[in-house]
Chain A
Amino acid sequence: MTSTVPQAVPAPKPTVTGGAPLLEVDDLSVEFRTDYGVVKAVNGISYTLAAGETLAILGESGCGKSVSAQTIMGILDSPPGFVTHGEIRFRGEDLLKMSAKQQRDIRGEEISIVFQDALSSLNPVFTVGAQIGEMFRRHRGASRKDAKASAIELMDKVRIPSAKERVNDYPHQFSGGMRQRVMIAMAIALDPAVLIADEPTTALDVTVQAQIMDLLAELQRETGMGLILITHDLGVVGEIADRIAVMYAGRIVETGATDAVFTAPAMPYTEGLMASIARVDQKGQRLNPIVGAPPNLAMLPPGCEFAPRCPRATDLCVAERPPLREIVPGRRSACHYAEEVLGA
């Protein structure tokens, strides 16, 4: 490599500040009661998030990753969705036991969310300035004028160019990436302690995706908020997350520091996912897919959920569901043979 590109910057690495857990999800179970049976979308998941930390929840569609976020935000469709077990503690207090008003005060102000589809999350008939400003008017009782000023300030903060002129534009006048910035501006308007980003870049192009991930990382560095990144994209996780929780069929099947998990996975599902994706830094060769498809959440097998697709599965795996257990300090895996997988 002899030539250099002026704009090239080293990949940003968010700092880990650690500290007491800000958000604790403890043994949370959520089910959907449909006409066709009870769908166990989330089955006893637990994780913690500290201030300044980025936790990635990785999984394929239907694994329950979004349902758990919806439960934290109190936007679970209920019915048919019901929390059957568990606690969600924010600064030590269980959100699920609070009154509706207390919950509202925390959600939006202390915990906020950015969705995948920015176009449908914005109201097309109001200007983006009015929608960002609304956060200040409703939660802080700001005047119309102050709210607008704050909106411009926020739009600057999320790097929307010429914010002063664009504050009166409508959502459809923005590109996909800019709309996602507007959504982020709304989410961080009230300086939340926790930001949940639910597939924030899935609908965006790669170059724009990189911009948005950088913005999130930078905002986190500035504000010290905890970030939960929900995604199916292993690459995005690798670039930004400190810790990772891999979900499969409603359960967390592996957790650990991102680099450690990606260097040596301890669960065959994670291993299989990493082996199956095409990589930009690798030449051809047949891909190595995971056979089969995830199980039906209305009829979960009694043993390990991944056993039917797992190349390492034994009789034990079919008979007995492995618990999520610590295998080395900071690493947990829900596999009977985690040590072997890790050593492989």
Chain B
Amino acid sequence: MPDADLSAAAVAHAPLREDALLRVEGLVKHFPLTQGIVFKKTVGQVRAVDGVSFTLASGETLGLVGESGCGKSTVSKLLMALEKPTAGRVFYKGQDVTDLKGKDLRRLRRNIQIIFQDPYSSLNPRMTVGDIVSEPWDIHADVVAPKDRNRRTRELLERVGLNPDFVNRYPHQFSGGQRQRIGIARALALQPEIIICDEPVSALDVSVQAQVVNLLEELQDEFGLAYIFIAHDLSVVRHISDRVAVMYLGAVVEVGTEDDIYEKTAHPYTQALLSAVPVLDPRARQLKQRIMLTGDVPSPANPPSGCRFRTRCWKAQDICVTEPPELVERGQGHPVACHFAESVQIVTSTEATPVD
């Protein structure tokens, strides 16, 4: 195994940089479990997000990977201020924006936008495409003057690869890929600095996914956008991300550059996740290791003590039961939350053949 190049890695993962565009510290979201209708009684807590920290630099893509129920979508809701965090702080350009309300919150929202997973439920079926794309300007009237809105709407549609003459059509008249483009145009309307992409391609057909991923990359280059790219598909995340954070049961278990995560995989969960991704190339498949995890993800209402992954981990020892591992650098070149972190190459990477 090659020795981790510590200095390069240290630069790459940039622990809580002050100049970060977005900084999240110890984000926690617990949903109360209640019983009864009239007299509600809290009987427990679902620990959807339990102490998540990361930074996002301007123009970069941070991939947030994990299986269903790991809390990645809750993180996106917290960042969008659609949910109130139970604890933790969110900083935007160094300013604490966690408790913003009213006008201040509205101003913040111009800078952070979101693209949803389901292109069918993310567009109001009773609004025309033109209304959907230009609605942000009804709310933030100073972004585009009323007389220019029609023209800007058409420009935006054209930029995302849609015929601008479609402004008067309704969402149901479009295919899934086209609807996702409409959603992207809406997110771009306010000229944000950050776009949270919540599984933006997982509901699309294979051949359309690539079109949308490429569009997102083009827009990033053109407008200098920073993305938080949430997905369960490790292949797409690897493709688009500069850095990747892997989540399990509401916590980040490993974070690092794309190379760190995919070639010097240090957390057993990340290793298992990577090994489970089917590989297309018959030759590469022979080289790949297979780690079969047993059992299911435990309920976030009752997570295991100590390390959350220990119930499914083949490395688990007594210390894992008693002591939750911190997400810190453990000699792998990037932070890992495992007492027994050890870098392993799960997939043999090749450079993609350049596209002509």
Contact = CB atoms under 8 A, between A and B. Distances in A.
Contact of B292 (A211, A279, A288): A211
Given A280-B274, A289-B207, A263 B282 contact: yes
B1 A207 contact: no
A146 to B, nearest CB: 30
A330 interface: no
A281 to B, nearest CB: 4
A178 B1 CA distance: 37
A205 B232 contact: yes
B277 interface: yes
Interface stretch (A7-15, A101-109, A118-126): A7-15
Interface in B43-60: none
Contacts of A291: 211
Interface string A292-305: 01000000000000
Interface string A203-242: 0011111110010000000000000000011111011000
Interface stretch (B16-24, B74-82, B149-157, B343-351): B343-351
Given A3-B1, A11-B288, A283 B238 contact: yes
B207 A283 contact: no
Contacts of A277: 206, 209-210, 235, 280
A10 B290 CA distance: 6
A8 B291 contact: yes
Given A7-B314, A277-B280, A290 B238 contact: no
B205 A262 contact: no
Nearest to A203: B68
A276 interface: yes
A169 to B, nearest CB: 14
A287 interface: yes
Contact of B205 (A61, A178, A287): A61
A285 B355 contact: yes
Contacts of B33: none
Contact of A293 (B208, B272, B273, B280): B208
Most A CB atoms within 10 A — which of B233, B262, B291?
B291
Given A274-B280, A277-B235, A287-B210, A9 B352 contact: no
Interface residues of B, number: 62
Contacts of B275: 8, 210
B342 to A, nearest CB: 6
Contacts of A209: 276
A284 interface: yes
A200 B75 CA distance: 29
B160 to A, nearest CB: 14
A205 B286 CA distance: 23
Interface string A174-209: 011110000000000000000000000000011111
Given A11-B288, A232-B205, A293-B177, A280 B355 contact: no
Given A10-B290, A284-B240, A289 B279 contact: no
B205 A60 contact: yes
Contacts of B211: 289, 291
Interface centre among A1, A263, A291 (most CB of B within 10 A): A1
Interface in B249-267: 258, 262
Interface string B312-333: 0010000000000000000000
B147 interface: no
A161 interface: yes
Nearest to B242: A284
Nearest to A274: B280
Nearest to B241: A284
Interface of B: 1, 67-68, 175, 177, 205-211, 213-214, 217, 232-236, 238-240, 258, 262, 271-282, 284-286, 288-293, 295-297, 314, 342, 344-345, 347-355
List 5 tightest A-B contacts by C-beta distance, closest first: A235-B278, A289-B210, A205-B67, A278-B239, A287-B210
Given A60-B205, A287-B214, 8 more contacts: A5-B291, A8-B290, A8-B291, A61-B205, A258-B282, A278-B210, A290-B207, A293-B175
Interface of A: 1-3, 5-11, 60-61, 161, 175-178, 205-211, 214, 232-236, 238-239, 258-259, 262-263, 272-274, 276-291, 293
